């Protein structure tokens, strides 16, 4: 049964040209995420295709991490949710893995929501000064 489901999934991917679509839209996500590399909270941006991550750091120059107890990644995740974006905090790295059928316009909307969350997090960090 599971093999039949897997084969049908591959047929759907081929019929709908999912791989071609991902190749077409993924530069919008990757280039958009990389623009956050200049943000004062961002230590690293990484990704490929429609998978990416933004790592938050206490000190951009030294890449010094926040104390894990400060919950900066979780706070950013919550701010993102408030702006309509579901991302996953893995410590202080925020993981992005949108649906394979996301449009370029939706990708820009995702990035705009994350920018708001990142700026909210920066404001919180400055006000609360977590270690």
CATH number, domain of 34, equals 3.90.1150.10
Which is it for strands 42-48 and 93-96: parallel, antiparallel or unpaired?
A: unpaired
Chain segment 63-119, per-residue pLDDT in tens: 999 999 999 999 999 999 999 999 999 999 999 999 999 999 999 999 999 999 999
Residue 18, in any domain of the structure: no
Residue 117, in any domain of the structure: yes
Dist. CA 61–CA 64, nearest whole Å: 8
pTM of the model: 0.91
Instruction: Give the pLDDT confidence score for residue 45 in this predicted structure.
Output: 98
Please give the structure tokens belonging to residue 23: 């190749």
Domain range holding 35? 26-128
Residue 2, in any domain of the structure: no
Alpha helices in 1-131 (DSSP H): 2-15, 18-34, 72-82, 104-128
Under 8 Å between Cβ of 127 and 49:
no
What domain count does the chain have?
A: 1
């Amino acid at each position: 049964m599971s093999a039949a489901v897997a084969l049908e999934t591959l047929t759907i991917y081929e019929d709908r040209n999912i791989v071609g679509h991902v190749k077409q839209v993924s530069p919008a996500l990757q280039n958009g995420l990389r623009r956050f590399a200049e943000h004062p909270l961002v230590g690293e941006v990484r990704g490929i295709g429609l998978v990416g991550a933004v790592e938050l750091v206490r000190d951009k120059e030294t890449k010094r991490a926040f104390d894990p107890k400060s919950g900066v990644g979780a706070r950013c995740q919550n701010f993102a949710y408030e702006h309509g974006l579901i991302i996953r905090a893995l410590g202080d790295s925020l993981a992005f893995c949108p649906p394979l059928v996301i449009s370029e316009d939706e990708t820009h909307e995702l990035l705009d929501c994350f920018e708001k969350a990142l700026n909210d997090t920066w404001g919180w960090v400055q006000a609360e000064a977590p270690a």
